[in-house]
Every structure is written in C-alpha cells, then in structure tokens.
Homo-oligomer: A and B are copies of this chain.
Amino acid sequence: MGIQERKERERERRKQQIIVAAKRVFSEKGFTKATMEDIAKEAELSPGTLYLYFKNKEELYASLTLRILQYLYIRVEHVSNEKDLEPEQKLNSLADAMFDVYEFDPLIVINMFQLQSSETLKHLSDELLAEITELSRKALAVIRSIFEDGIQKGVFQAYNPVVLADIFWSLFSGVVLWEESKRIVNKDKDFLKPTLEIAFEIFNGGLRKS
C-alpha cells in the first residue's frame, strides 16, 4: 500500500467520521437549524476542518443522501440478482430491502426531498450532483427491471414498468414520511412496519394478474 493510497484511505475515514456526526445532528435539528459548529462539535473537530472535506453545508448534507443511495443500490441489486425467485417473491424481497434501507438511515426519504430545491442544488459540486443522480437512476432501473420481468412472465399486469417503479418508490417514501410525521405530531407509536407491509400487500394485489 503506497503512501498515496494510505492518505486517501485516511481521508475517507475522516469524511465518514464527519458524515456520521452530520447525520446525527441533521436528524435531530433538521438542515436549517443544524449549524456547522454543532456538527464540528459532534465530530470532535473544528469547524474549519469540515470545510477541508466538504465544500459547504449543502454538500455535506447531500453526501448523506449519497451514502444511503449507495446502500439502497446494493440492496436492490442484490434482490434483482436472485435468479431463482419468482417475480412476486422478488417484489416481497424488494419491500424487505426498502425497509432495511429505512432502518439504515430513517432520514433517507426526508433527506431526499429536502435536497430537491433548486436553490440547494446550485451549491452542490457538479461531481456530487452527478453521482447522486446517477445512483438514483441506477437504483430505479433495477427496480424497474423487476417489474419488467414480472410483466414478461405474465405475472404482473402490463403497466409501464417505469411508472411502476416510480409508484413503488412513492408508496414507500409516502408511508415513511406519513408515519414519521404522525409519530412527531401525535406522539403516536411507531406503526411504520405493519403499515408498510399492508401497503405493499395491496400494491402487489393490485398489480397481480388475476
């Protein structure tokens, strides 16, 4: 391992350290209320150091999304690759994968929508933006392919698979957001998992060719 490589690795470790701290702080306070100093303190670093690794607050925030997307993509692709699963079983596996993604970082969906203001996007480096867009595109493509497969095998109804992937993702994120917000406002208990299960069940039922 060359010196170059060791440095790169060290740098990556630091980035992760900051990202972990940022995740905690953003989760608790939200993007606007969280200050760079909060994050620096959480990471036991100085504010200036944050800027050695992330161009600005927006970019640090977006990096959280990138991280979760990477995990999402891996999980989703894994489902897609299980050759001996029937389309319906794949759909169920997909639902499980989504839930794992949620547990990996409950903020994922919230992140991904707060991100989408054109004002925020302006402050991201092209590079990071491209990575996010690309990964998001690839993950959806995999989901789409699962639907395509099911349609081809005559198990699913012949909807446009692109649209199906969008709806699947929307249903997932919609339920996450809604249950999340109910929890906060009503101090309800956490009903995410069972609600999500029923949601996917109905979705599957509606999709299946009877």
Contacts and interface: CB of A to CB of B under 8 A. Distances in A.
Interface of A: 29-30, 32-33, 110, 112-113, 115-119, 121, 133, 159-160, 163-164, 166-167, 169-175, 177-182, 184-186, 191, 194-195, 198-199, 201-207, 210
A52 to B, nearest CB: 12
Nearest to A132: B185
B180 A166 contact: no
Copies in the complex: 4
A61 B170 CA distance: 25
Contact of A113 (B117, B181, B191): B181
B117 A30 contact: yes
A205 B195 CA distance: 18
Contact of A167 (B29, B175, B182, B210): B175
